[in-house]
Amino acid sequence: MIIKPLTNTPIEQIHEAFLAAFSDYEEPVMFSVQQLKHMIERRGYEPDISYGAFENENLVGFTLNGLGEWNGRLTAYDTGTGIQKEYRSKGIATQIFEASLPVLKEKQIDQYLLEVIQINTSAVDLYKKLGFKISRTFDYYVASKKDFPEFKSKPGPGLTIKEIQTPDWQFLKTFWDMIPSWQNSIYAVERKKDCFKIFTICDGNTIVGYGIIEPATGDIPHLAISKSCRRNGYGTALLFHLIDQLDQDPFKLINIDSTLDTFKAFTKNLNLPPGHGQFEMMLTL
């Protein structure tokens, strides 16, 4: 078994290993090569700080790391870790982590961030053993247009929804109740900006909220309404407008801070229950 960086590993080989590693999951991964490439690039993938376990040139385990700024500090982000089923319980994930750690420190990276599905207790326990601590608990929501039989894409009287090309992030951040997760961050959106549609919702001439959707994947990384304008139907009108942009079902609101009671009330009103959530975990290097 050889542990080495993925610097010269072609995306096709990574894709093959990715599918094999997640084939027995509750929801098996069915990404194409291009979909995987898009996902990891959106998350800041850097092959030089990513590592794989190779058995006779076969990639049997990997950690694909991204790199960027997080809360003002240089941060590595685990965009995906997977081990093929027959190679699990052999300490390979730990070996990959231990091989990458000196490189991350050498590059003066301050912290290591990841998310893990809460019900994947073996992975959660491993990350805790490696020194990661839970920083936030996330919910996620997945649904289809057909789940909303009274779906209406037009906003109510006095409301207008406009697509924008150049968001004023400092202004839009004033609507936030939480800092978006890494994969939903401003940096992630900007990395693949051409793939997203960004809309503001206005009452008269006043912007009261905004939302973002990636039509090809159904991801809705941002949906935010001014605190003073909530419970007036703005969020529902904006959400329905976003899902009207879908190229295909379903749509997804992933990594929503589970402590946000206002968002829980919003989704409950829409009869949109959360699925299995994730833990955000952080290791200071």
Pick the CATH number of 2-109 from 3.40.50.720, 3.40.630.30, 3.40.50.920, 3.90.1150.10: 3.40.630.30
Pick the CATH number of 141-274 from 3.40.630.20, 3.40.630.30, 1.10.3720.10, 1.10.10.10: 3.40.630.30
Q: What Cα–Cα distance (Å) separates residue 82 from each residue in 14, 51, 53, 59, 152? A: 10, 11, 10, 10, 41
Write the pLDDT tens digit of every residue in 217-254: 999 999 999 999 988 889 999 999 999 999 888 999 99
Domain boundaries defined on the chain: 2-109, 141-274
**pLDDT over 90, % of the chain:** 82
Q: pLDDT category, 261, cuts 50, 70, 90?
A: very high
Which of 73-77, 123-127, 181-185, 247-251 bottoms out in mean pLDDT, i.e. has the lowest?
Answer: 247-251
Strand pairing class (2-5; 159-164): unpaired
Could you give the count of Cα atoms lying within 13 Å of 139 in the half-sphere of its Cβ?
17
**pTM metric for this prediction:** 0.92
Q: Which residues of 3-27 are buried (b: 16+ CB within 10 A; e: fewer)?
A: bebbeebebebbbebbbbbbeeeee
Q: Round to whole Å and give the CA distance between 69 and 173.
A: 17
Strands (E), 98-190: 111-117, 133-143, 159-164
Element (H, E) at 77: strand 73-83
**2-109 and 141-274 have identical folds:** yes
Write the pLDDT tens digit of every residue in 122-175: 999 999 999 999 999 999 999 988 877 665 555 667 789 999 999 999 999 999
